[in-house]
Amino acid sequence: MAGTAVRGRLTWQVATAGSLTDETVAVRTIELGVADWAGHSAGQHLDVRLTADDGYVAERSYSLASAPGEPVAITVERLEDGEVSPYLTEDLRPGDEIEIRGPIGGYFVWPWQDDATSPLLLVAGGSGVVPFRSILRHRAELGAKTPARLLYSAKSLPDVIYRAELDAMHDGVEVIYTLTRQQPPGWTGHSGRVNEALLREVAWASGQQPIAYVCGPTAFVESVASGLVGLGYPPSRVKTERFGGVGGP
Amino acid sequence: MSSPISRGFHRRHRDTTADTDRVPPGQYVTTDFPVLSAGPTPHTPLDSWSFSIRRAGDTLKSWSWPELQAQSVEDVTVDIHCVTRWSKLDTRWHGVPIDTLLSQVDHDANFVLAFCDGGYTTNLPIADVTGHQAWVAFGFDGQPLQPEHGGPARLLVPHLYFWKSAKWVRGLELLAADEPGFWERYGYNNYGDPWREQRYAGD
């Protein structure tokens, strides 16, 4: 059987909000203190459950932003029309308790089948970058020499999540931004959406047996994943995660 | 354990949750049609497309695209529920009941494993794909089913979480004993009843 072993039952447990970090005006990273965490793989997600004082309950999934071995953390983007994300990004305070269960998902994970050496291509649209922080931190912790490229499409520079951390990446990690809506004066990076030409420029050649992870909104993921297949990536080496799968309003 | 109350948290989507008796626990209603897949969208030309029923690697029966269209096609309107928590009400589909296809082979299988372009699989008890509960669907909302939603054809098993409604389906493998499919091996529930909130293994 391929992949991660099926774990036992995932039970809900109380987590205590720790430090809160505003990544952008609409995005917040939340550290969660959990008594019983079995550990996670880079790229997995967890479920959050909120209960209102009238008993109303809402659940959502969020990608884990921290590497295996680090305190559990999620990074949440506030959605205008959202229900859970506005609470998590605006109302939650350190010390508040929420319920979580996880980790969840055994396919959008790195390393894949213990292969930490294939060239790694990460393509993010917006808050699709969250699982890639976990992956890149994990790569660094492992001391892996795997060459890694992160192609990150954001609306503008202030919308880039984890910018300081990404800009400081080294040891074989290249971070390539493309800004789709607004570029600062003197911007010498890429502009516009990820298209075939940009993928061709940034992606590892298929002959190098790369493995690709694509995360973002559906249209972004559709277009990037098709583009990579067009460049000769076998579909089995292109893993996708869409906001439909990790976020929701 | 009682759940901690999040002060300041409240329901915001009263308008879309009016039909609460139609929405399983933990789900919210959306009018969008979100997409969840593990990899790139395959594009198989219809002239090389077929739907097969297999057992132990042998093809018992196979239908080309025109042959499938020539079966008894039905229009069904159903609610669908994705494990990622969106539910979509009154979705309109066009397709062939699995009963129609299974009735054309001689079998005593207990389970099926749906197989798909792109390598995706999902397992289902035979009892859940018969009795007018499952279809091979190729039309959505009066239009051909779009590739990102599983076109040219997907399984439609609306009473289970939507990952059981395998996209890009190419056939069913008949099995005597159950065996887990793709997401079922990665921690998702083996059966996936949304009304019992069977999202993950052990739920």
- Mean pLDDT, chain A, as a whole number? 92
- Nearest chain A residue to B10 by CA: give it: A52
- Chain A residues with CB inside 8 Å of B37's CB? 240, 242
- B3 belongs to a structural domain: no
Q: How far is CA B88 from the centre of its chain?
A: 13
Contact B150, B169 (CB under 8 A): yes
* Residue-number span of the structural domain to which B100 is assigned: 50-196
- B201 belongs to a structural domain: no
CATH number of A120-242: 3.40.50.80
Q: Do A244 and B35 touch (CB under 8 A)?
A: yes
Q: Is the bond preceding B152 in cis, omega lying within 30 degrees of 0?
A: yes
pLDDT exceeds 60 at position A174: yes
- B130 belongs to a structural domain: yes
- Chain A residues with CB inside 8 Å of B200's CB? 9-10, 104
- Chain B residues with CB inside 8 Å of A225's CB? 39-41
Judged by average pLDDT, the poorest of A1-15, A23-37, B183-197 is A1-15
Mean pLDDT of A209-229: 95
pLDDT exceeds 70 at position B116: yes
CB burial of residue A17 (10 Å; 0-12, 13-18, 19+): middle
Q: Do A14 and B1 touch (CB under 8 A)?
A: yes
Tell me the C-alpha distance between B151 and B25, whole Å: 29
- Name the pLDDT band for A218 (thresholds 50, 70, 90): confident
Q: How far is CA A223 from CA A201, A219, A227, A234, B83, in A?
A: 16, 6, 6, 15, 24
- B98 belongs to a structural domain: yes
What are the strands of the beta sheet with B58-64, ordered from one edge? B58-64, B50-55, B169-175, B111-116, B121-125
Query: How is chain A split into domains, by residue range?
Result: 13-104, 120-242
- Chain A residues with CB inside 8 Å of B9's CB? 50-52, 58, 84, 87, 91
Mean pLDDT of A240-245: 72
Q: How far is CA A80 from CA A77, A104, A246, A248, B191, in A?
A: 10, 26, 17, 11, 34
- Chain A residues with CB inside 8 Å of B38's CB? 107-108, 239-240
Please name the helix (run of DSSP H) or strand (run of DSSP E) that holds residue A73, with its range, or none.
strand A72-77
ipTM value of the model?
0.86
- The shortest C-alpha distance from A201 to chain B (Å) reads 20
Choose among A215, A238, A195, A210: nearest CA to A118.
A210
Which carries the bigger pLDDT value, residue A6 or residue B154? B154
Q: What is the pLDDT of residues B177-188, one digit of tens each?
A: 999 999 999 989
Please name the helix (run of DSSP H) or strand (run of DSSP E) that holds residue A218, with its range, or none.
helix A218-230
Q: What is the pLDDT of residues A38-81, one digit of tens each?
A: 899 999 999 999 999 999 999 999 999 999 999 999 999 999 88
Contact B139, B132 (CB under 8 A): no
A58: phi > 0 → left, psi -120 to 50 → alpha, else beta; which? beta
Mean pLDDT of A135-155: 96
pLDDT exceeds 60 at position A3: no
Tell me the C-alpha distance between B52 and B136, whole Å: 11
- The shortest C-alpha distance from A105 to chain B (Å) reads 6
Q: Do A242 and B5 touch (CB under 8 A)?
A: no
Number of domains in chain B: 1
Tally C-beta pairs within 8 A across A and B.
Answer: 145
pTM score, two decimals? 0.91
Q: A13-104: which CATH architecture? A: Beta Barrel (2.40)
Tell me the C-alpha distance between B156 and B162, whole Å: 8
User: Does any CB of chain B come closer than 8 Å to the CB of residue A235?
Assistant: yes
Judged by average pLDDT, the poorest of A93-107, B4-18, B156-170 is B4-18
Interface of A with B in 35-94 (CB under 8 A): 49-54, 56-61, 82-84, 86-87, 91-92
- Which CATH number do you get for residue B61? 3.90.420.10
- The shortest C-alpha distance from B103 to chain A (Å) reads 32
- Name the pLDDT band for A8 (thresholds 50, 70, 90): low
Q: Is the bond preceding A158 in cis, omega lying within 30 degrees of 0?
A: no
Q: Do A52 and B84 touch (CB under 8 A)?
A: no
Tell me the C-alpha distance between A13 and B35, whole Å: 29
- Chain A residues with CB inside 8 Å of B198's CB? none
- B174 belongs to a structural domain: yes
